């Protein structure tokens, strides 16, 4: 981010566009203007006044009475500020003017309701100026402090305006400004200065850039007698320039400079420090001023910190240094953390007389690491170094600083400059075949136009000499290129990149410059042509969509939860572990196995979580699902949900985990909605195990696992500590054939009351959950195959049998199905009865059998034969008695 006051920008380029046009144009070019701030647009009825007379207040020692003219009329003004003298020009607020209520801000700050800076402490209070009396004396207008105008935090004195401002002029006309707040991507370091932005404006409007003229009177001692500089680590510091000024007078910097710094959000400190900031904002070179007399041995050494070395920075924090940190040191000790922050000892103080001014170029990556490693906020200097600064700017920066110091703080500037630049960098030269423009941009631009565009951006284009070689201005070197039958020198531009464009190193970068200059808004629109890649389905993605279709049709809502969960949430799943049977030692494979859910050996844990709420990659989705159920049960009486997501398991010896697509399911609450059709929503209408089992059965049937036999087996004791031991099943997929492999796809079951409690759910409510491993499920899915639909009448018969209570209904059903064979299309268990006349310890099961004839009508004999066979088998295998 950089704030650019147009009043400042105008020093370096003519502004020919309105602020809106300027903002829109810069935004298209990549300098995104986030906001156009208009300073002074609400200074209605505030004018330039001149103080004619200052008298004591007759009734109050802490007040004075001013006579202030606006050119037409003289206003009597009572004020508590004592900084004025007769003849001063001040902002005068006439009745009706609206000002920020400074007293209220200060009071609220004192009461702890506001923090500094006050102007950014939320909604601001305003007051309207009215004529009235203060301690018995008429006061007809207000002499205004900076805080009341919103231009700075100063509320101690009245603003004293430039004496050249015409009396009676509106304040907005003389002090108003438009500030562009520009957001800069990391490649735009070059635009972190007024001159940098001016260059972009100039390239956009065809105007010229006028960088500041630098003139220094070098009237002091030769620089070599004052200081020597050595760079020990040129990989981290490519260039270091320094000058010394002696006999400066420390004080506040002039108003114009303070105003400019405040306008861009930098707090004025003293003239020397302000000048370093000002030059950085003006041309982009960060500077650092040292108190010359604190430099031991009159020596600067740029080196890496030594292990164990310590230093105190200007924020008065002590830092333990490591050799990754680049230091500026004198003969004895560190005096600054290079490019990041100065040291406390060598900083410029009120007593400083002599100043050594550093302009250096540091390695961006190292600055980034040091700055972000040690400090919570990135300093303005570091912000620029991180994005890389023009290597040719160190000297200009130091000289510009010296010039301003001499003008503002006085003193004698050393003769000459120390400029250590071990490895001189030559500007980048790029060969740009013009054919790249249509190839990448999809448009053709004539050579002359391209040259003009690049030159507007201060790129130099080499002259093509008659012998086919290229030569740049001020450079004797001749460049030749490989020419071929398809490409001649005419088709190529040889481009020299300005040193401040560190971001341009290859052809593609130049192409972007051409596109920016051509105008992104003028790039044509075309559609992709050419051959399509082979079109193949993404089975997993389509499978997920199929699941969503089936599950939403089954009444479930899709949820999406954070895969980052808390350790507590995982531990909550084991809330009942102590009470269940001891866990088996080998639950086999980690997938969906609850016993591993809290085992750090299987978990991926973040090294830098934002909070413990979200620090582990979930090994199961059950926790997140239960949290969603609990959260929703507070507001709604019915929660049927599913999520398709991933669970994460460490793989031994691999960097990346196994990310397994998983389906999580949960149902809780009432089954049917309250309505006149169902006036009593009773305990029996609550969803339970069988609701979810029904959904899963339906889902698996719809997926068509034709070759696979799906088996629901009661859970093995201890395997599922999160589930109700008597109301849970494991789901197995058994491959065809007698010895077909059986894989565990997942489970469904009601949540153990202890676990429900741990998730703030009602332990008395049935909450049924399940998970299916989609990685295992997907390969089992087969294409549906047509089966003939009979046109003959279907024969249905009911069959009731009595079996022992211990006989699983599923087993009976399976026996019926198997025995009935192909003709028996459907077996529906429609009643279970216990009690008279069924003997104690037994139950009656009633089935409806639907026989579908294949090619001819079924005879009664055929049906009763089948039925006898079924009954016979049931008698033999489960001791059934048949009933009429």
Partner 1 sequence: MTIQNQVAEMQQRALGELGTASDLVALDEWRLKYLGKKGELTGFLRGMGQLPPEERPIVGQVVNAARKALEEADATRLIGLQAAALNQRLASDQVDVTLPGRPVETGRVHIITRTMREIVAAFTAMGFQIAEGPEVELDYYNFEQLNMPPGHPARSMHDTFYFSESVVLRTHTSPNQIRVMEKQKPPIRVIVPGKCYRSEATDATHDFMFYQVEGLAVDQNITLADLRGTLTDFARRLFGPERKVRFRNDYFPYVEPGVDLSIDCMLCDGKGCRVCKYSGWLEILGAGMVHPQVLRNVDIDPEKYSGFAFGMGPSRIALLKYGIDDIRQFFRNDLRFLEQFA
Residues 637-656 that bind partner 1 (CB under 8 A): 638-642, 646, 648, 655-656
The residue (of 275 and 381) whose beta carbon lies closer to partner 1 is 381
The residue (of 676 and 680) whose beta carbon lies closer to partner 1 is 676
Number of residues that bind partner 1 (CB under 8 A): 97
Cβ count near 195 (within 10 Å): 23
CA–CA distance from 763 to each of 229, 626, 670 (Å)?
A: 75, 13, 15
Of the candidates 686, 575, 587, 579, which has an alpha carbon nearest to the alpha carbon of residue 622?
575
Window 18 to 37, contacts with partner 1 (CB under 8 A): 27-30, 32, 34-35
Among 21, 86, 156, 558, binds partner 1 (CB under 8 A): 558
Nearest approach, Cβ of 774 to partner 1 (angstroms)?
Answer: 13
Nearest approach, Cβ of 355 to partner 1 (angstroms)?
Answer: 31
Residue with tokens 């999580």: 664
The residue (of 423 and 675) whose beta carbon lies closer to partner 1 is 675
Distance CA 242, CA 326 (A): 18
* 407 binds partner 1 per the rule CB under 8 A: no
* 440 binds partner 1 per the rule CB under 8 A: yes
* 61 binds partner 1 per the rule CB under 8 A: no
Window 510 to 549, contacts with partner 1 (CB under 8 A): 511-512, 515-516, 520-521, 523-533, 535-536, 538, 540-541, 545, 548
- Site stretch for partner 1 (CB under 8 A), options 209-217, 284-292, 390-398, 433-441: 433-441
CA–CA distance from 614 to each of 77, 569, 648, 722 (Å)?
A: 61, 10, 14, 21
Window 180 to 199, contacts with partner 1 (CB under 8 A): 185-188
- Site stretch for partner 1 (CB under 8 A), options 4-12, 312-320, 635-643, 875-883: 635-643
- Site stretch for partner 1 (CB under 8 A), options 80-88, 577-585, 629-637, 792-800: 629-637
The DSSP call for residue 616 is: E
Nearest approach, Cβ of 639 to partner 1 (angstroms)?
Answer: 7
Question: Which tokens hold the place of 575?
Answer: 């809330």
Site string for partner 1, 716-745 (x = CB under 8 A): ------------------------------
Distance CA 800, CA 694 (A): 23
Question: Which tokens hold the place of 483?
Answer: 């020419």
The residue (of 540 and 792) whose beta carbon lies closer to partner 1 is 540
Q: Is 240 left (phi over 0), alpha (psi -120 to 50) or beta?
A: beta
The residue (of 560 and 735) whose beta carbon lies closer to partner 1 is 560
Distance CA 392, CA 280 (A): 14
Window 365 to 394, contacts with partner 1 (CB under 8 A): 365-366, 368-369, 372, 386-387
Nearest approach, Cβ of 641 to partner 1 (angstroms)?
Answer: 7
Distance CA 713, CA 828 (A): 20
Nearest approach, Cβ of 511 to partner 1 (angstroms)?
Answer: 6
Window 666 to 705, contacts with partner 1 (CB under 8 A): 672-673, 675-677
Cα angle, residue 745 at apex, residues 782 and 732 outer, rounded to 5°: 90
Say if residue 569 is preceded by a cis peptide, omega within 30 of 0.
Answer: no
Distance CA 99, CA 155 (A): 13
DSSP string covering 306-328, please?
A: PTT-EEEBTTS-EEE--TTSEEE
* 399 binds partner 1 per the rule CB under 8 A: no
Window 592 to 611, contacts with partner 1 (CB under 8 A): 604-610
Q: Which parts of 117-202 are beta strand (E)?
A: 126-128, 132-134, 137-139, 142-143, 177-183
Question: Which tokens hold the place of 73?
Answer: 């009329």
Among 306, 439, 865, 883, binds partner 1 (CB under 8 A): 439
Nearest approach, Cβ of 335 to partner 1 (angstroms)?
Answer: 25
Among 438, 589, 694, 726, binds partner 1 (CB under 8 A): 438
Nearest approach, Cβ of 120 to partner 1 (angstroms)?
Answer: 17
The residue (of 673 and 804) whose beta carbon lies closer to partner 1 is 673
Burial of 392 (0-12, 13-18, 19+ CB in 10 A): middle
The residue (of 631 and 877) whose beta carbon lies closer to partner 1 is 631
Rg (C-alpha) for the chain, rounded Å, is 41
* 442 binds partner 1 per the rule CB under 8 A: yes
Nearest approach, Cβ of 179 to partner 1 (angstroms)?
Answer: 15
Nearest approach, Cβ of 307 to partner 1 (angstroms)?
Answer: 21
Distance CA 398, CA 359 (A): 5
Among 556, 595, 626, 874, binds partner 1 (CB under 8 A): 556
Residue with tokens 């009706």: 96
- Site stretch for partner 1 (CB under 8 A), options 257-265, 310-318, 628-636, 835-843: 628-636
Nearest approach, Cβ of 503 to partner 1 (angstroms)?
Answer: 9
Distance CA 804, CA 878 (A): 8
Cα angle, residue 505 at apex, residues 499 and 507 outer, rounded to 5°: 130
Distance CA 89, CA 190 (A): 39
Among 507, 702, 734, 873, binds partner 1 (CB under 8 A): 507
Contacts of 553 (CB under 8 A, 6+ apart): none
Largest CA distance in the chain: 127
């Amino acid at each position: 981010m950089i704030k650019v006051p147009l009043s400042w920008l105008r020093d370096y380029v003519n502004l020919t566009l309105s602020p809106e046009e300027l903002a829109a144009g810069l935004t298209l070019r990549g300098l995104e203007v986030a906001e156009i701030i208009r300073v002074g647009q609400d200074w209605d009825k505030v004018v330039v006044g001149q103080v004619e007379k200052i008298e004591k207040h007759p009734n109050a020692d802490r007040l004075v009475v001013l006579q202030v003219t606006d050119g037409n009329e003289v206003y009597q003004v009572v004020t508590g500020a004592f900084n004025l003298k007769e003849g001063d020009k001040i902002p005068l607020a006439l009745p009706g003017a609206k000002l920020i209520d400074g007293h209220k801000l200060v009071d609220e700050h004192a009461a702890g309701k506001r923090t500094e800076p006050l102007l950014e402490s939320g909604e601001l209070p305003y007051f309207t100026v009215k004529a009235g009396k203060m301690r018995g004396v008429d006061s007809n207008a207000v002499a205004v402090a900076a805080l009341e105008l919103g231009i700075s935090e100063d509320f101690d004195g009245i603003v004293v305006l430039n004496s050249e401002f015409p009396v009676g002029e509106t304040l907005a006309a003389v002090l108003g400004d438009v500030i562009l707040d520009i957001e800069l991507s990391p490649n735009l370091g070059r635009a972190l200065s007024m001159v940098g932005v001016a260059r972009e404006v100039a390239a956009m409007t065809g105007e010229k850039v006028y960088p500041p003229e630098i003139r220094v009177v070098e009237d002091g001692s030769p620089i070599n007698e004052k200081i020597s500089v050595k760079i020990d680590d040129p990989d981290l510091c490519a260039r270091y320039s320094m000058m010394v000024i002696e006999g400066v007078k420390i004080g506040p910097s002039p108003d114009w400079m303070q105003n400019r710094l405040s306008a861009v959000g930098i707090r004025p400190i003293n003239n020397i420090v302000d000048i370093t900031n000002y030059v950085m904002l003006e041309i982009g070179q960060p500077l650092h001023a040292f108190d010359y007399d604190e430099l031991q041995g009159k020596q600067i050494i740029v080196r890496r910190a030594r292990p164990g070395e310590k230093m105190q920075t200007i924020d008065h924090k002590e830092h333990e240094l490591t050799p990754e940190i680049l230091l500026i040191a004198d003969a004895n000790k560190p005096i600054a953390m290079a490019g990041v922050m100065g040291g406390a000892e060598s900083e410029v103080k009120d007593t400083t007389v002599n100043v050594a001014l550093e302009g250096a170029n540091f390695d961006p990556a190292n600055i980034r690491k040091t700055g972000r490693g040690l400090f919570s906020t990135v300093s303005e200097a570091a912000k620029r170094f991180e994005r890389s600064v023009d290597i040719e700017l160190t000297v200009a920066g130091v000289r510009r600083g010296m010039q301003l110091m001499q003008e503002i703080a006085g003193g004698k500037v050393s003769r000459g400059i120390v400029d250590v630049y071990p490895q001189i960098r030559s500007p980048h030269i790029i060969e740009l075949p013009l054919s790249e423009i249509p190839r990448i941009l999809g448009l053709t631009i004539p050579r002359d136009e391209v040259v003009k565009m690049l030159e507007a951006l201060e790129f130099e284009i080499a002259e093509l000499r008659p012998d086919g070689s290229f030569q740049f201005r001020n450079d004797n070197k001749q460049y030749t290129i490989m020419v071929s039958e398809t490409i001649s020198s005419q088709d190529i531009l040889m481009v020299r990149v300005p040193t401040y464009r560190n971001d341009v190193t290859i052809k593609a970068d130049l192409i972007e410059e051409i596109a920016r200059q051509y105008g992104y808004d003028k790039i044509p629109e075309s559609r992709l042509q050419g051959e399509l890649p082979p079109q193949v389905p993404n089975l997993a993605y389509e499978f997920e969509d199929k699941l969503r279709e089936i599950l939403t049709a089954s009444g479930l809502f899709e949820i999406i939860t954070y895969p980052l969960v808390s350790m507590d949430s995982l531990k909550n799943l084991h809330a009942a572990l102590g009470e269940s049977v001891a866990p088996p030692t080998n639950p086999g494979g980690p997938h969906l196995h609850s016993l591993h859910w809290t085992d750090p050996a299987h978990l991926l844990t973040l090294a830098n979580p934002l909070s413990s709420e979200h620090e582990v990659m979930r090994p199961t989705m059950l926790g997140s699902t239960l949290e969603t159920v609990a959260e929703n049960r507070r507001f709604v009486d019915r929660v049927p949900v599913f999520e398709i997501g991933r669970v994460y398991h460490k793989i031994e010896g691999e960097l990346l985990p196994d990310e397994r697509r998983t389906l999580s399911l949960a149902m809780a609450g009432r089954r049917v909605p309250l309505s006149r059709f169902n006036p009593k929503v009773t305990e029996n209408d609550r969803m339970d195990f069988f609701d979810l089992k029904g959904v899963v059965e339906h889902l698996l049937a719809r997926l068509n696992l034709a070759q696979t036999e799906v088996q629901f087996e009661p859970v093995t004791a201890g395997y599922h500590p999160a589930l109700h031991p008597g109301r849970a099943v494991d789901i197995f997929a058994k491959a065809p054939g007698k010895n077909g492999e059986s894989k565990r796809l997942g489970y469904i079951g009601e949540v153990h009351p202890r676990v429900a409690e741990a998730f703030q759910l009602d332990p008395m409510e049935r909450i049924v959950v399940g998970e299916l491993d989609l990685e295992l499920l997907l390969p089992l899915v087969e294409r549906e195959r047509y089966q003939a639909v009979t046109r003959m009448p279907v024969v249905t018969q009911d069959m009731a049998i009595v079996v022992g209570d211990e006989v699983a209904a599923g087993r009976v059903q399976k026996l019926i199905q198997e025995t009935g064979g192909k003709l028996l299309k459907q077996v529906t268990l429609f009643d279970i009865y216990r009690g008279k006349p069924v003997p104690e310890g037994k139950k009656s099961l009633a089935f409806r059998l639907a026989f579908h004839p294949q090619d001819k009508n079924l005879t009664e004999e055929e049906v009763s034969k089948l039925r006898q066979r079924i009954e016979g088998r049931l008698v033999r295998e489960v001791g059934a008695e048949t009933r009429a």
